[in-house]
Amino acid sequence: MACLSPPLVRGPRVHGAGRVECRAVALACAGGRSYAAPLAGPDDPAGARAEAVHALDELGSDGVTVLSNAYGRYLGDPDFEPLWAELDPRLRPGGATPEDLLAELRRFWFDTAFCAGPASLPSLLAFAAPGRLLYGSDFPMLPEEWCSGYDDGLDGYPHWEDGQLHAVHRGNAELVVPRLARA
C-alpha cells in the first residue's frame, strides 16, 4: 500500500494538487497494488472531501490518508462532518459491525514514531495485528536527539519476542516493499 502525505502548507490547498499525486500513485501501482490517496489537510475540510471523492470514485484508490492535525485544527472539528459523512458508508459498507471495523483497523500498518515509551509501545503491540509494525522515527521532522531517545526505548524494550525487534526494524518492511530484502 503506497501512502503519500499531503504537503503541509498554510491556507487552502490548491484543489487538484492532490489529484496529481493520486494519478502518479495510480500509475505507479497499475500492476494491481493498492494505494491510499493523500487528501488536503485539516486546514481545508472541503478540499479533503472533494479529493476523497475524486480519488475513490475516479482514480480507484483503496483508501485515503489525511493529517490528523494541522495548525491546531483536528479531524474532530465539526467542519469535517461532510468528509466523515462521505467516508462512513465506504468504511462500514453493508452494515459492518464495530467489531468488523476494529478488526480492519488492527490490520493497518503502524510505525514506532513516538510509540516507544513504557505505556505506548505495549499498547501498540497489544492492538496491532502481528507483523503490522514498522520502524518510524519522524526524523528529520523532529530533532535527532528526540529520535535517538525513542530508538533507545524501542531497542531497550524488555518484552520483545524472538525476532520481533528485527521484524520491526526491517523484516516487516521487506514484506511490504520486497526490493528492500534484496538491498
pLDDT in tens, 137-170: 877 777 888 888 888 999 999 999 999 999 999 9
- Whole-model pTM? 0.55
For the chain, residues with pLDDT lower than 70 are: 1-37, 40-42, 70, 92-95, 183
- The 8-class DSSP code of residue 145 comes to H
Residues 27 and 67 in one domain: yes
- Does any domain span residue 176? yes
Strand partners for 2:
35
Range of the domain at 126: 102-182
- Does any domain span residue 51? yes
Residues 138 and 72 in one domain: no
User: What's the pLDDT score for residue 83?
Assistant: 87
